[in-house]
Structures are given as structure tokens and as C-alpha cells.
Amino acid sequence: MEDPALDRIAEALEGAECVAALTGAGVSTLCGIPDFRGPQGLYGKPGAERIFDIDWFDRDPSVYYRGCRDLVYGLGGFSPGPVHAALKRLEDEGRLQGVITQNIDMLHTKAGSSRVYEIHGTPAVHHCRFCGNAKTFGEIRAMIDAAGGLDALDAGYVPRCGCGGAYKPDIVFFGEPLPEVAFMEAQELAMRADLMLVLGTSLTVFPAAGLPRLTLQKGGKIAIVNAQPTPLDDYAVARGDDLAAFASRFTDGK
């Protein structure tokens, strides 16, 4: 059965010259990664408010590493999902100019998307909190493996620099600003876009939730696919709730 919302998105794509995508947790839940705020999500755990708090990290970085044992350092067990593949195909076809993501799982990059703006940061690089020395995600995982693997994080292991400082991922913690360059480029793309695909986000977390509004203010259109309502549903040229159906439609290139 044809989905009228997907038909309208296809029509909007055909008429657009600059298309952007904004993705949220719903895109990753299709890969088996729990939504932070869902029933099995990270924020349902005791003390979860401390995991991404920069003051708590400086006080006791093991809180973060223990809390993100699976979500971040077990990412090798997750692969890009259908929406990641659909967006990669749209980019390959020259129809998508960039992906703005609130997610920290690096799956858009793993799927092959070349223009990804990670506005909530990324664990791809970690920096020492004392001297600023940088290590890649792979190097941090190697340190964890040498210490006994993911179970070492449960025991309180923290990857540390030779100077003694803890390595912190370049994820944006509460109390830190968004990555300036990535967010500035995301804003520029949002203002250039004549169509923004809003996928798997409820548009309740600012400043990310303000990006589709920039597209609208500049005369562009937005299309939303999300399981829950969003504050901008009434402004969308198309509104669907089935991300898997969206992915199937546009991965097939129809």
C-alpha cells in the first residue's frame, strides 16, 4: 500500500535543489541502539544525569566510562541501519547535500555519508583533560582491550594519558558548548536548504531543534518522519511516522 506522506516527500525531493537531513535517536533505534530517553535507554538508569555531566567527568571519569560501556565502546556490535543506507543513496544520487545528526554513534560516517555534521560531538576523537593529547576511538578501544575489555570499564578502568589525565571523548557533555564549526556549518546548510528531511527526532532539544526553523524562515520546506509528534508537524509539507518505510522507499531509489 502506498504511503501518501512518502509520495509527498518524493515530490518535494524532485523539486528541491538543496536537501539537508536532520537525524535523531529514532534513526539509531532501528539498529538496535536504545533511545537515551526510551524505556531501556541510558537515562532510565540510576545516576544517569551524571554520565554526560562535565563536572562529574572531571570529578570521577569512571562514571562516564561505566555508563557508556555498551552505548559508545560497544559500538562495534552495531551496524548502520536502513535510514543510514537511504541517506547514503540520496547523497550518491546527488540529491542530498549533507546530514546533520544529533547522534553520537558515528553510524552515518560508517555508512559512507561524506558530509556529516555531528552537532552533539563524536567519540571518534578523545582528548586528555590535562594536556590535550588526542587519541582516536580505535586507540582508546585498544587501551580498553589491553586493560581487560569492556568488563574493565565496569570495574572502574579509565583510559589515561601518560600525564595522568583522563581521556574524554569529543561528545558534548552538559556544561559544554556545541562544537562551533560543526554547528555553524549545520546552520549554514539549514539556511541554504530548500528541503530539510527531519528523521527520528522529536525536535525538543535545542539548539538542534531550531535548525528546521531556519529552513522555514529562509523559505524552505521541511518533511518529518518520526514516531512521536513534533512541534513543527503543522509546518511540514509531509508528515509520516514510519522510518523503516521511508528507508525502504528511498533505498530502492523510487
Collapse the DSSP code of 185 into the 3-class scheme (helix H, G, I; strand E, B; otherwise coil) and give the result. helix
> Are 244 and 182 part of one and the same domain?
yes
Question: Residue 136: what residue type?
Answer: T
Question: Residue 159: what residue type?
Answer: P
The helix (H) or strand (E) run that includes residue 183 is: helix 180-192
How many domains, in total, are found in the chain? 2
Q: What's the domain range around 192? A: 1-32+80-120+178-254
Higher pLDDT, 79 or 234: 234
> Are 97 and 154 part of one and the same domain?
no
Q: Is residue 120 annotated as a catalytic residue, yes or no?
A: yes
Confidence (pLDDT) at 135: 98
Confidence (pLDDT) at 33: 82
Instruction: Using a pLDDT cut of 90, give the percent of the chain over it.
Output: 82
> Are 27 and 44 part of one and the same domain?
no
CATH code of the domain containing 136: 3.30.1600.10
Catalytic residue among 108, 120, 126, 127: 120
Q: How far apart are CA 133 and CA 143, in angstroms?
A: 15
Extract the C-alpha cell encoding 196.
530539510
| Phi, psi (deg, nearest 5) at residue 157 | -65, 140
Per-residue pLDDT of 188-230, as tens digits, reads 999 999 999 999 999 998 999 999 999 999 999 999 999 999 9
Cα three-residue angle 249-252-254, rounded to 5 degrees: 65
Per-residue pLDDT of 98-126, as tens digits, reads 999 999 999 999 999 999 999 999 999 99
Q: How far apart are CA 43 and CA 50, in angstroms?
A: 10
Sheet with 134-136, side-by-side order of all strands: 134-136, 121-128, 167-171
> Are 251 and 144 part of one and the same domain?
no
Q: How far apart are CA 194 and CA 148, in angstroms?
A: 50
Instruction: Identify the DSSP state of 128.
Output: E
Q: How far apart are CA 162 and CA 113, in angstroms?
A: 35
* Cis status of the peptide bond prior to 207, with omega within 30 of 0: yes
Residue 129 predicted with pLDDT over 80:
yes
> Are 106 and 157 part of one and the same domain?
no
- Closest C-alpha to 153, from 164, 166, 163: 166
> Are 18 and 85 part of one and the same domain?
yes
Per-residue pLDDT of 1-33, as tens digits, reads 568 999 999 999 998 999 999 999 999 998 888
222: CB partners within 8 A, 6+ apart: 195, 196, 197, 198, 212, 215, 216, 232, 235, 236, 237
Give the domain-ending residue among 138, 154, 171. Answer: 171
> Are 133 and 165 part of one and the same domain?
yes
Question: What separation, in Å, do the N-terminal and C-terminal C-alpha atoms of the chain show?
Answer: 14
Q: How far apart are CA 112 and CA 179, in angstroms?
A: 22
> Are 161 and 103 part of one and the same domain?
no
> Are 1 and 112 part of one and the same domain?
yes
